[in-house]
Amino acid sequence: MGALARRRRRRIVGLLVLLGLAALACLASIAIGSKPIALDAVWHGLTAPTDTENDIIVRSLRIPRTELALLAGAALGVAGALIQGHTRNPLADPGLLGVTSGAAFAVVVGIFAFGLTSLYGYVWLAFLGAVLTTGLVFLLGAAGRGGPTPLTLALAGAAVSALMVGLISAMAVIDQQSLEAFRFWRVGAVAGRDPVIIGQVLPFLAVGLVLALANAPGLNALSLGEDVARSIGQHVLRTRVLGLVAITLLTGGAVAACGPIGFVGLVVPHVARYVTGPDHRWLLPYAGLIGAVLLLVADIIGRVIAWPGELQVGIVLALIGAPVFVAIVRRKRLVRL
Amino acid sequence: MTPRLRAEELRLGYGDSLVVDGLDLDVVGGTITAVIGPNGCGKSTLLRAMGRLLAPRGGQVLLDGKRIDKMPTREVARLLGVLPQSPQAPEGLTVADLVARGRHPHQAWYRQWSSDDHAAIDEALAMTGMTDLADRTLDELSGGQRQRAWISMALAQGTELLLLDEPTTYLDLAHQVDVLDLVQRLHGELGRTVVMVLHDLNLAARYADRLVALRAGKMVAQGRPHEVLTEDLLREVFDLEAKVIDDPVAGTPLVVPVGTRHRT
């Protein structure tokens, strides 16, 4: 079993390298911004903050933004790996089960029907919308004879998402104010979010991450097909429900705090799988760290590329994500799940 | 002898259609049983129900005298392994990874890996002759090697009972014999009880202690190969005109179909 031990060591080293990269990306995210702040001033703001303008920028703008990018990137990466594993569909992204459109729908209803304008309200509404929508999708997907299968879940998710998007468009067309407010929420961003919001979604993301890791052995069993999974002692329905709850918490938390951010959940699992192969016990941590690094780097690029203005991270990701995805598809054929 | 696995008045179906209707079957420990019958007669359905992969409409399956549907999934998985027909694995999975997953019912979140697991995996790989291929991915293997890898996984599971659904599908004759020789060794050397669905009647007669013949969800005959594989039964179960002679190698019944060209 020498080869197994070697592979294990390589995977641990890879994980440490990724941790290092994530730490570097965090530091870069704190140091780089539209207002140039010298490194020693950044350090001053980190270690001994006073009321100078630079210190306030570092502590109340750049640190929360970095925390949020780190958390949301990890959450979306892990959620993407989970949804692709559960549906055995390499093109699945965490929004497949309607989480993202459900969150968006709830936010627009809040603006349209209740005249909501505060970002705090958005967080809870978006989260509520995400959870209710996934619940609805799961019930629809489980209603068939065979219970919830990857196919029925994906179809139910697509149908519900289409309905939500239609209703959102209807409200945006009728009401100018909804359209205006929704426009800002619609583009995913990690900038300008109050630290309070991070505190609000943090427990959900933390629980989601723990559940995701607990789901890994079961997901490994499920990847051999439901019959084999059952015959090696895995409770299939319980595994699916645990996975869906984790996906909902992670995606719902990320969407509630940042708005919809695409590509991370779709692309990151492929990059991670390229390194780890199909073992979810390794795939999930890798996807989390790669997702965090990707979102941090994309956010930094967004600050630099349009200086002195900024490009929101959702747009940056779409701009760099699309070509990267095409490159991945062309370079290595998609891994069959 | 008390049966290890028993089906009582089993009724099985999907949706509105009933596939198996009122079937009783006893599987005695330490035997190889082959289930035979024409396509669509309910062989695989029966095997899935016996392996707790399909809930019965009526009747019950007993494992060591206990109702299998009342037992925890994990406990069943430590006693009984099922290998479906042509199982699918994710791309990039190595043989060693696959076989290791057979240890799943013996692991828990607080105990992912033990020396028992290592020993069981090494033994399963050695038994199936897959040790040298352990680091290959499944998609690199030939059909026969892949089937041996899956049997190796079921073996690492360490269950005394093994249910195999057409373990020889898509294999050429040499590899069919290879896989069935392996099954016979599991039975002979490790004392495993095997129930398998087989299409090839001659191989079934040669490798099984008992044959169970199904037609349209009913059991038509069961017993030793000589008792079951008769010209009358082949007509009744398969609508097949055939001569049954003695297999010159093993002495078991050998089915020689007549076909329209040679009909007199």
Task: Mention every residue, 6+ apart, whose C-beta is less than 8 A from residue B156.
Answer: B99, B100, B102, B103, B120, B121, B123, B124
Closest CA to A93 of A257, A255, A300: A255
For the stretch A99-134, pLDDT in tens is 888 988 888 888 888 777 666 677 888 889 989 999
> Distance between terminal CA atoms of chain B?
46
Task: Mention every residue, 6+ apart, whose C-beta is less than 8 A from residue B226.
Answer: B252, B253
Q: Pick from A145, A335, A337: which is nearest to B15 by CB?
A: A145
The dihedral built from the CA positions of residue A107, A108, A113 and A115, taken in this order, carries a sign that is positive
Contacts of B60-64 with C-beta under 8 Å, sequence gap 24+, read B60/B7, B60/B8, B60/B9, B60/B10, B61/B5, B61/B6, B61/B7, B61/B8, B61/B10, B62/B3, B62/B5, B62/B6, B62/B7, B62/B8, B63/B4, B63/B5, B63/B161, B64/B4
- Mean pLDDT for all residues in chain A: 86
B177, part of any domain: yes
Q: What's the CA gap between A120 and A131, in Å, rounded?
A: 17
> Distance between terminal CA atoms of chain A?
26
More confident call, A37 vs B140: B140
Task: Read off the pTM.
Answer: 0.89
Least confident of A25-39, A237-251, B195-209: A25-39
Question: Domain range for residue A140?
Answer: 2-331
For the stretch A222-272, pLDDT in tens is 999 999 999 999 999 899 999 999 999 999 999 888 888 888 998 899 889
What domain count does chain A have?
1
Return the pLDDT at A197. 83
CATH number of the structural domain spanning residue B243: 3.40.50.300
Q: What's the CA gap between B77 and B71, in Å, rounded?
A: 10
B150, part of any domain: no
More confident call, B241 vs B114: B241
CATH number of the structural domain spanning residue A173: 1.10.3470.10
More confident call, A44 vs B67: B67
Least confident of A226-240, A278-292, A316-330, B132-146: A316-330
Interface of B with A in 121-160 (CB under 8 A): 122, 134-135, 153, 157
State yes or no: pLDDT of A332 exceeds 70: no
Q: How far is CA A42 from CA A301, A304, B93, in A?
A: 19, 17, 46
B107, part of any domain: no
B71, part of any domain: yes
Distance from the Cα of A334 to chain B's closest Cα (Å) equals 10
Burial class, A20, CB count within 10 angstroms (exposed 0-12 / middle 13-18 / buried 19+): exposed
Place A209 in a pLDDT band, splitting at 50, 70 and 90.
very high
Kindly list the residues from chain A whose CB atom is less than 8 angstroms away from the CB atom of residue B135. Answer: 3-4
What domain count does chain B have?
1
Length of chain B: 264
- What the block records as the tokens of A117 is 């304008």
Distance from the Cα of A217 to chain B's closest Cα (Å) equals 8
Q: Pick from B84, B90, B102: which is nearest to A227 by CB?
A: B84
More confident call, A308 vs A137: A137
- What the block records as the tokens of B226 is 């000589």
Return the pLDDT at A190. 80
Return the pLDDT at A334. 54
Kindly list the residues from chain A whose CB atom is less than 8 angstroms away from the CB atom of residue B124. Answer: none
Cβ distance A1 to B96 less than 8 Å, yes or no, reads: yes
Please, are residues B219 and B41 in contact by the beta-carbon 8 Å criterion?
Answer: no
Return the pLDDT at A132. 93
> φ, ψ for residue B215 (rounded to 5)?
-145, 130
Which residue of chain B has the CA closest to A211? B109
Cβ distance A224 to B89 less than 8 Å, yes or no, reads: yes
A337, part of any domain: no
Task: Mention every residue, 6+ apart, whose C-beta is less than 8 A from residue B95.
Answer: B125, B130, B133, B134, B135, B136, B137, B138, B141, B149, B152
Which residue of chain A has the CA closest to B96? A4
Closest CA to B161 of B124, B194, B191: B194
Cβ distance B87 to A227 less than 8 Å, yes or no, reads: yes
Burial class, A230, CB count within 10 angstroms (exposed 0-12 / middle 13-18 / buried 19+): buried
State yes or no: pLDDT of B1 exceeds 70: no
DSSP state of B32: E
> φ, ψ for residue A284 (rounded to 5)?
-65, -50
* Over residues A281-287, mean pLDDT: 96
Single-letter residue type at B10: L
Among all chains, which residue has been given the structure tokens 């989970």? A82
Place A333 in a pLDDT band, splitting at 50, 70 and 90.
low
Cβ distance A227 to B107 less than 8 Å, yes or no, reads: no
Cβ distance A277 to B93 less than 8 Å, yes or no, reads: yes
B97, part of any domain: no
Cα angle value B238/B244/B245 (rounded, 5°): 160
Return the pLDDT at B248. 92
- What the block records as the tokens of A279 is 């073992």
Please give the distance of CA A92 from its chain centroid, rounded to a whole number: 13
B21, part of any domain: yes
> φ, ψ for residue B217 (rounded to 5)?
75, 5
B94, part of any domain: no
State yes or no: pLDDT of B242 exceeds 90: yes
B100, part of any domain: no
Q: How many CB pairs under 8 A join A and B?
A: 90
Place A331 in a pLDDT band, splitting at 50, 70 and 90.
low
Number of neighbouring beta carbons within 10 Å of residue A91? 11
Place A5 in a pLDDT band, splitting at 50, 70 and 90.
confident
Query: Which of B88, B157, B161 best probes binding to A when mutated, by most A CB atoms within 10 angstroms?
Result: B88
Please, are residues B242 and B231 in contact by the beta-carbon 8 Å criterion?
Answer: yes
* Over residues B63-72, mean pLDDT: 93
A100, part of any domain: yes
For the stretch B139-182, pLDDT in tens is 999 888 999 999 999 999 999 999 999 999 888 899 899 999 99
Closest CA to A105 of A133, A80, A83, A77: A133
Question: Domain range for residue B173?
Answer: 3-88+159-257
Task: Mention every residue, 6+ apart, whose C-beta is less than 8 A from residue B90.
Answer: A88, A223, A224, A278, A335, A336, A337
Please give the distance of CA B165 from its chain centroid, rounded to a whole number: 5
A257, part of any domain: yes
State yes or no: pLDDT of B80 exceeds 90: yes
A336, part of any domain: no
